[in-house]
Amino acid sequence: MQLDSPNLSYIKELADGDTEFEASLITILKKELPKEKEAFIESVRLKNYQNSAEHVHKIKHKISILGLEKSYDFAIAFEEELKNDDPKQYETFLSILQNMEEFLKTI
């Protein structure tokens, strides 16, 4: 899957010029994403795919906030696959998370 590029368009739209709100959203993303990523990785390691699907569900909202439309669509499908005990797209989802983390480090 070709990864799309994260951006702040949606955050800027939500903030509507309120730079404090914008900074607050970014801070939340930077704080929560690494923790959610680790919890997701651990649940897959334990082969608890139902729990993994719940983590993907939470993370996909952050994917959307960062303007990753293709990745969001992928996350929806991957969440369903995990509910059916199918983790084969795990590496692709990790790539999406890595893409997001790298972007957040630059802002």
Encode the chain (107 residues) as per-residue pLDDT tens digits.
Answer: 788 999 999 999 999 999 999 999 999 999 999 999 999 999 999 999 999 999 999 999 999 999 999 999 999 999 999 999 999 999 999 999 999 999 999 99
pTM (whole model) above 0.75:
yes
Residue 2: what pLDDT?
80
Q: Do 43 and 35 meet the contact criterion of CB atoms below 8 Å apart?
A: no
Alpha carbon distance 73, 39 (integer Å): 21
Residue 19: what pLDDT?
95
Tokens of 55: 């983590």
Range of the domain at 57: 9-105
Residue 95: what pLDDT?
97
Alpha carbon distance 94, 102 (integer Å): 12
In order of 4, 49, 94, 98, 100, the CA distances from 103 in angstroms are 12, 27, 14, 9, 5
Is 3 inside a domain boundary?
no
Is 14 inside a domain boundary?
yes
Residue 3: what pLDDT?
83
Q: What is the dihedral of CA 2, 70, 20, 107, to 10 degrees?
A: 0
How many domains does the structure of the chain reveal?
Answer: 1
Alpha carbon distance 12, 53 (integer Å): 29
Is 61 inside a domain boundary?
yes
